[in-house]
Structure 1
């Protein structure tokens, strides 16, 4: 913060996931970075472990559109802490988008990070039957009910669809949120298509502290780091591994771990500590991100670029622009194991992989290093505070 300027007071609200993942880690990193930048920061975390019975699940489903108990928890802290900004990350299912109207009515600026597509897609991934699906982007979210897009449950999907529909009809996104944070231009385009106000969506990546200059030591093998689930493309990776000559190490856990166990070409290591993951990335020729869904900004990519390791990614959604084919890594057709195997073999045997790694590191330094992304976030907060201070109804200003 500049000399003489009071530190911004930021209240972070986040509904943590049952299985901790990249979004939870990104929230924790943001909190620490904001503190290092001189902000006063508090966080309210809601945990799904509280949904521990049939009655609790029923009550949560009934309240998912406007969760009064979760909102009350956040506002109790807000009354004591008096934040300039209430920054919401995941609000599902214990907080709800209804927090924005209540926080803004109390005089706080509001910011919403769009980590995934939950606010426009009951399944959160814009994916159905293993392929991209956008029918709810401009159409009724209740279309998802017949497909059971939320965890294969039509009842559960109905509850989430009601949340999406309620806030779309209420005008929450145009009336109650001062700024949105999209992780990539691709994600911004999808939300704009769904009716979110384009002029209030800022693009800001999740940052990462600098791990230091990459080593020039020899590298070997291909590395996958992430959840072992269908949308991450791990079954495609397994088929590609059987065709590829490269050694592929897999770090992570998830519902498909059993299906991948013993698969030829894959060395499953299970979950590893962050330091071990970083070391493995720094020693790999490349990291592979074979997703078949629209990703946000995978932390595996940010972490890989930070240690100077190129990425082989699917040509789908934001990944197609995050990796510059032949410069910071290689692209393969999403869901095509033969094309993925070709790309893995090419980069594993290509002396130019080191040059790609240096280009990847340059992207990290320019766009994803923590000081860069923290400055961007602080500017978004200042915009949000100014918008709230103006206190002019969005509908009247045309925004």
Structure 2
């Protein structure tokens, strides 16, 4: 199956991405999409910057590149002139790629696509979190509130820098005139970005996908958390809810981050640290449910689609896109956001009703195959490309 008309050559795609110092979901998504395109005959070109470069740059130079990266535009000019791609697909630009990438693409006459992995265009912090709750104060407004509250790295100056980049490029018309198509990861995210001022007619929804080797079903036991060990992921809620589990039960925690030392001694949390992808999938095949207690509006957690592919139901906070992604009592359970008692009730229900959890997991797997498979995702992505190239 393909959205590229028969007889047409698959378009060549230039993927641009700014990698994070600690590799995360966005980095993995870029790799997965590159492999997806290459496997289906596309020539995939890459231009990447890495946040490790910041260690070698004077602070003023890093800040200057966040507004307009001359090294990025020069490298792209050379690459595009030499390789002549058909389309430019951008993922993360912060901070070293910069929004200058969109001007470079347009200057060379390339259609430009941007995947909206996080909320940085709406919120200087990119998480929309303040005082442990979702915050939309800066959505569709000048982000002075974010500066006032020191939302990014607890620094008014650094928050002002991030906000300044977004606002400068709003004034320059970068978001309104230099990006041909935005990819939101859910309908919730699409509506949020429309509210934030992006042109509604240019935003399409394309979720993540997962290709997971299938294994024979085996006995399942216990609960699982996979993610960064940070405040926004709701780890304090998880710790409180874990204390309400029946004797002998605990939650396996995979990941690393600033809260690891705090959580290490918790008697009901079994910390495994960061694990390679195959080990994470193996844990997903053995667990009874994946827990997503995030305090923030997750755009589309990659772990959710991987869990579904492994036949693992998800317990998620009932806000943001989660009611769209988790069907309550069909593919998992939804609980009250920020409420440890509600989360604890959901955890105990899974442990006390394993037959329900198994049924929800099977429904989640069927949903993933129908909506979040590699083939379905390729059809969606290739249609986006084809619409811009026709």
TM value normalised by structure 1:
0.94
- Distance in 1, matches of 2:25 and 2:65, equals 26
Which secondary structure does the structure 1 equivalent of 2:299 belong to?
A: coil
- Aligned match of 1:361: 365
Greater CA drift, 165-174 or 318-327:
165-174
Tell me the equivalent position of 1:244.
Answer: 245
TM, length-normalised to structure 2: 0.96
Q: Which residue of 1 aligns with 2:7?
A: 4
Alpha-carbon shift at residue 384 of structure 1 (Å) = 2.2
Map of 2:225 onto structure 1? 224
Q: Distance in 2 between matches of 1:160 and 1:236?
A: 30
* Mapped partners of 2:233, 2:90: distance in 1: 25
Aligned residue for 2:67, secondary structure, equals: coil
Q: How many angstroms apart in 1 are the aligned matches of 2:295 and 2:111?
A: 36
Q: Please report how far the alpha carbon of residue 65 of structure 1 lies from its aligned counterpart in structure 2 after TM superposition.
A: 2.0
**What's 1:37 paired with?**
40
- Which of 76, 101, 124 matches 1:74? 76
Q: Does 1:328 align with 2:331?
A: yes
1:391 aligns to what? Answer: none
**Deviant stretches of 4+, over 3 Å:** none
Aligned mates of 1:134, 1:160 — CA distance in 2: 16
CA separation in 2, counterparts of 1:192 and 1:336? 29
Q: SS in structure 1 opposite 2:165? A: helix
Q: Which sections of structure 2, spanning at least 5 residues, go unmatched? A: none
Contact 1:142 1:162 in 2 (8 A): no
CA distance in 2, matches of 1:10, 1:353: 41
Q: 2:389 aligns with which of 371, 385, 391?
A: 385
- Determine if the alignment matches structure 1 residue 47 to structure 2 residue 50: yes
Q: SS at the partner of 1:250?
A: strand
282, 286, 296: which is aligned to 2:299?
A: 296
Cα shift readout 1:60-105 (whole Å, capped 9, x = no counterpart): 1133122222222223212211111110000000011221122112
Check the 8 A contact 2:256/2:273 in 1, yes or no: yes
3-state DSSP of counterpart to 1:51: helix
How many residues align? The count is 384
Q: Secondary structure at the match of 2:44?
A: strand
Secondary structure of the 2:183 match is strand
- How far apart in 1 are the matches of 2:60 and 2:133? 30
Aligned residue for 2:45, secondary structure, equals strand
Shift of 1:3: 4.3
